[in-house]
């Protein structure tokens, strides 16, 4: 079975299947989305105008039995950063799409402001159907209705109220294994790109699908076993290990103790109250409330870092509250109540917003005088403003930098317009180097230096040392490759420490493609992907001055270490040169 590219123009009501170009044949995931965006999108175009395109691409091994490989990449020119963007999610939507033989979906045309459509895909083909009846509504109720109407065994990708408002903080929601809209390609405002193409949902039914063709089954199976063995033996990823037991929230206490856990809009790096929202505390609450922990974002995941959080009475499940979400909607706003954080997280999911961007937005709004830090009701009220589309809501839905500028805030924690995740770069300088230099804007997943600086994975480095250029570069290259294969980023914990696991990942790819890649090829492949992304941004008008952290982080000391971000500009300029 040869894979195909599906090209969809909603405004023209046109769907075309295309053969895969030779230069795309060995690509998948981020490698493919970035290549198509580079090839087909004018870098200087308005991200919400007619010339932008949205690309969905499962990874190279997604849809096979490769462990922890249910990832999808979504790419476009970002309304938030103005540059190229790849947002990544774990979901069986990706696996279903790959099994149908679809290498990528390219959504083009528009802009459309009303009359939304849904794209239905199955083994018999594709069609556009009316989706206007689901417009302006919360996604939890809508996803439940969709499953009642078209069946539970269907992958769903959709956008919510935030995208309908053309918000730069709007993501794309994929249903989890219980059908809830809790798996997000959240960053960069790609939901608004999808909505302005006129597309509200994509439904994927893989019943009877032929599956992913594997060119060399023996090599693939050998690699799959090596990687599975590594994942199930490493302390971070194994059953009963850190992620399996406590989810990503296991990092709350760890990063707080390291002095890099941003509180009160990045004004200090630790707080004695952090343990109230830790992964350990959350796991206890989930057990008491009869939620689910561990949980998997997609079939075939052997790590199981996800969960299902419920209200105190055990009702109203909402899906996972990740480490980043707990921090952004909690301590960064000086909120230390898991139920309030859970409700804020639910509102983000329901309206289709990235929780990192939303939490940072609330924090800078508090800094700007919209509310007091720690005011839980005011934070929830900001969500209501967005839902109702008020003038304040339209400011908030456009993200942290937009909101900070609107209210005259000088402490705005963004790079290239995108809000920072839950690691203060003044206390953990490798991750700060990644924030500054990745083409994606402030993004921890682009080169997760926390693994080495804090967790001792792949080495052991002092987080306060500014000499992190090589670490960030190597991680950015390897991450681009992992995102291209379709594996979860968390597989990196095992493959950084267990060479056989990395060999296995490469052998899986060789098995699917019939290729002869080696581990030594990884840096070159990663560099080629990032060079392409950098070139797009350069054509869009980015310069080296965009590869910088905010002024306040270079000048304002962060307690408790009382350090600043002191990686020299000339070093930042050479990270990806």
Q: Is omega for the bond preceding 294 within 30 degrees of 0, making it cis?
A: yes
- What tokens appear for 461 in the block? 């480095």
Residue 41 is predicted with a pLDDT of 98
* C-alpha–C-alpha distance, residues 512 and 428, integer Å: 38
φ, ψ for residue 426, nearest 5 deg: -75, -25
Would 438 be classed as within a structural domain?
no
Which distant-in-sequence residues (6+ apart) come within 8 Å of 560 by Cβ?
259, 268, 269, 270
Neighbours of 513 (CB within 10 A): 21
Please report, in tens digits, the pLDDT of each residue of the chain (577 residues total): 468 999 999 999 999 999 999 999 999 999 999 999 999 999 999 999 999 999 999 999 999 999 999 999 999 999 999 999 999 999 999 999 999 999 999 999 988 877 899 999 999 999 999 999 999 999 999 999 999 999 989 999 999 999 999 999 999 999 999 999 999 999 999 999 999 999 999 999 999 999 999 999 999 999 999 999 999 999 999 999 999 999 999 999 999 999 999 999 999 999 999 999 999 999 999 999 999 999 999 999 999 999 999 999 999 999 999 999 999 999 999 999 999 999 999 999 999 999 999 999 999 999 999 999 999 999 999 999 999 999 999 999 999 999 999 999 999 999 999 999 999 999 999 999 999 999 999 999 999 999 999 999 999 999 999 999 999 999 999 999 999 999 999 999 999 999 999 999 999 999 999 999 999 999 999 999 999 999 999 999 999 999 999 999 999 999 999 999 999 999 999 999 8
Pairing between β-strand 4-9 and β-strand 125-130 as defined by DSSP bridges: unpaired
- Find where tokens 């083409």 sit: 439
* C-alpha–C-alpha distance, residues 139 and 348, integer Å: 10
- Which CATH number covers residue 253? 1.10.569.10
Residue 122 is predicted with a pLDDT of 97
- Find where tokens 């992964």 sit: 279
Would 416 be classed as within a structural domain?
yes
Neighbours of 12 (CB within 10 A): 11
- The widest CA-to-CA distance across the chain, in whole angstroms, is 62
Question: Are 141 and 280 contained in the same domain?
Answer: no
Of the residues 204, 239, 269, the one at which a domain ends: 204
* C-alpha–C-alpha distance, residues 99 and 69, integer Å: 13
Question: Are 163 and 96 contained in the same domain?
Answer: yes
* C-alpha–C-alpha distance, residues 154 and 511, integer Å: 28
Q: 81 with 166: CB under 8 angstroms? A: no
Q: Which residues of 70-86 are buried (b: 16+ CB within 10 A; e: fewer)?
A: bbbbbbbbbbbbbbbbb
Vertex 390 angle, CA 200 and 309, to 5°: 60
The helix (run of H) or strand (run of E) holding residue 95 is helix 92-99
Neighbours of 285 (CB within 10 A): 16
Q: 8 with 157: CB under 8 angstroms? A: no
State whether residue 395 is helix, strand or coil: helix
Q: Residue 253 has what DSSP assignment?
A: H
Question: Are 148 and 273 contained in the same domain?
Answer: no
* C-alpha–C-alpha distance, residues 574 and 577, integer Å: 5
Question: Are 190 and 270 contained in the same domain?
Answer: no
Q: Residue 439 has what DSSP assignment?
A: T
Question: Are 198 and 256 contained in the same domain?
Answer: no
φ, ψ for residue 339, nearest 5 deg: -70, -40
Q: Is the torsion defined by CA of 349, 354, 358, 359 positive or negative?
A: positive
Would 140 be classed as within a structural domain?
yes
Question: Are 45 and 119 contained in the same domain?
Answer: yes
* C-alpha–C-alpha distance, residues 115 and 259, integer Å: 49
Would 188 be classed as within a structural domain?
yes
Q: Where are the alpha helices (DSSP H) in 249-399?
A: 251-257, 279-288, 323-329, 338-351, 355-367, 376-388, 391-396
CA 153 to mean position of chain CA atoms? 24
Question: Are 198 and 266 contained in the same domain?
Answer: no
Q: Residue 209 has what DSSP assignment?
A: -
Burial class, 151, CB count within 10 angstroms (exposed 0-12 / middle 13-18 / buried 19+): exposed
Question: Are 40 and 189 contained in the same domain?
Answer: yes
Would 221 be classed as within a structural domain?
no
Residue 112 is predicted with a pLDDT of 83
User: Can you state the angle between helices 355-367 and 338-351, rounded to 10 degrees?
Assistant: 120
* C-alpha–C-alpha distance, residues 513 and 125, integer Å: 25
* C-alpha–C-alpha distance, residues 397 and 403, integer Å: 9
pTM for this model (two decimals): 0.97
Would 190 be classed as within a structural domain?
yes
Question: Are 143 and 34 contained in the same domain?
Answer: yes
Which distant-in-sequence residues (6+ apart) come within 8 Å of 87 by Cβ?
73, 74, 75, 171, 172, 184, 185, 186, 187, 188, 190
- Which CATH number covers residue 95? 3.60.9.10
Residue 113 is predicted with a pLDDT of 75
Residue 423 is predicted with a pLDDT of 98
Residue 114 is predicted with a pLDDT of 77
Would 23 be classed as within a structural domain?
yes
- Report how many domains make up the chain: 2
φ, ψ for residue 141, nearest 5 deg: -65, -40
* Enclosing domain of residue 112: 4-204
Question: Are 273 and 139 contained in the same domain?
Answer: no
Pairing between β-strand 199-204 and β-strand 117-122 as defined by DSSP bridges: parallel
Strands (DSSP E) found in 523-565:
none
Would 214 be classed as within a structural domain?
no
The half-sphere exposure of 323 on its side-chain side, counting CA atoms within 13 A, is: 23
- What tokens appear for 280 in the block? 């350990």
Neighbours of 44 (CB within 10 A): 11
Of the residues 424, 439, 465, the one at which a domain ends: 424
* C-alpha–C-alpha distance, residues 43 and 62, integer Å: 29
Of the residues 146, 177, 204, the one at which a domain ends: 204
Question: Are 178 and 263 contained in the same domain?
Answer: no
Q: Which residues of 109-145 are buried (b: 16+ CB within 10 A; e: fewer)?
A: bbbbeeebbbbbbbeeebebeebeebeeebbbebbee
* C-alpha–C-alpha distance, residues 174 and 88, integer Å: 11
Question: Are 281 and 344 contained in the same domain?
Answer: yes
């Amino acid at each position: 079975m040869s894979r195909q590219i599906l090209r969809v123009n909603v405004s023209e009501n046109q769907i075309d299947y295309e053969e895969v170009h030779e230069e795309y044949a060995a690509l998948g995931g981020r490698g493919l989305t970035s290549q198509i965006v580079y090839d087909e999108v004018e870098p200087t175009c308005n991200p919400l105008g007619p010339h932008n395109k949205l690309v969905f691409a499962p990874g190279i091994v997604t849809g096979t039995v490769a462990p922890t490989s249910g990832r999808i990449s979504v790419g476009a020119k970002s309304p938030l950063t103005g540059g190229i963007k790849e947002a990544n999610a774990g979901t069986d939507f990706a696996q279903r799409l790959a099994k149908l033989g679809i290498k990528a979906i390219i959504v083009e045309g528009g802009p459309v402001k009303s009359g939304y459509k849904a794209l239905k895909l199955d083994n018999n083909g594709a069609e556009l159907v009316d989706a206007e009846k689901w417009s302006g509504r919360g996604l939890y109720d809508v996803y439940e209705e969709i499953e009642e109407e078209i069946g539970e065994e269907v992958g769903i990708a959709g956008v919510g109220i935030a995208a309908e408002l053309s918000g730069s903080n709007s993501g794309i929601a994929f249903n989890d294994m219980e059908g809830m809209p809790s798996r997000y390609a959240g960053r960069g405002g790609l939901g608004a790109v999808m909505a302005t193409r006129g597309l509200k949902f994509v439904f994927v039914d893989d019943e009877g699908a032929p599956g992913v063709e594997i060119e060399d089954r023996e090599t693939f199976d050998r690699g799959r076993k090596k990687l599975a063995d590594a994942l199930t033996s490493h302390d971070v990823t194994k059953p009963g290990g850190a992620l399996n037991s406590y989810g990503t929230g296991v990092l709350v206490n760890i990063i707080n103790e390291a002095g890099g856990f941003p509180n009160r809009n990045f004004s200090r790096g630790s707080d004695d109250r952090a343990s109230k929202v830790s992964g350990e505390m959350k796991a206890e609450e989930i057990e008491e409330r009869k939620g689910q922990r561990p949980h998997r974002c997609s079939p075939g995941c052997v790590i199981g870092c996800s969960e299902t959080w419920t209200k105190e009475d055990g009702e109203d499940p909402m899906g996972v509250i990740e480490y980043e979400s707990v921090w952004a909607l909690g301590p960064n706003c000086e909120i230390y109540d898991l139920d309030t954080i859970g409700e804020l997280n639910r509102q983000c999911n329901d309206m289709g917003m990235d929780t990192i961007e939303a939490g940072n937005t609330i924090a800078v709004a508090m800094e700007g005088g919209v509310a007091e830090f720690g005011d839980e009701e005011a934070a929830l009220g900001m969500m209501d403003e967005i839902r109702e589309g008020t003038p304040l809501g339209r400011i908030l839905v456009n993200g942290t930098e937009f909101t900070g500028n609107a209210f005259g805030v000088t402490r705005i924690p963004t790079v290239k317009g995108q809000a920072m995740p839950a690691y203060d770069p003044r206390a953990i300088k490798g991750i700060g180097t990644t924030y500054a230099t990745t083409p994606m804007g402030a993004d921890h997943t682009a080169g997760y230096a926390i693994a080495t600086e804090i967790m001792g994975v792949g080495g052991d480095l002092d987080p306060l040392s500014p000499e992190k250029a090589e670490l960030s570069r190597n991680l950015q290259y390897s991450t681009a490759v992992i995102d291209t294969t379709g594996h979860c980023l968390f597989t990196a914990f095992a493959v950084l420490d267990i060479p056989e696991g990395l060999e296995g990942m490469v052998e899986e790819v060789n098995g699917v493609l019939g290729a002869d890649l080696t581990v030594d090829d990884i840096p070159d492949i990663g560099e080629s992907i990032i060079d392409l992304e950098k070139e797009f941004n350069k054509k869009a008008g980015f310069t080296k001055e965009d590869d910088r952290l905010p002024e306040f982080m270079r000048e304002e000391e962060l307690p408790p270490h009382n350090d600043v971000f002191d990686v020299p500009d000339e070093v930042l300029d050479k990270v990806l040169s």
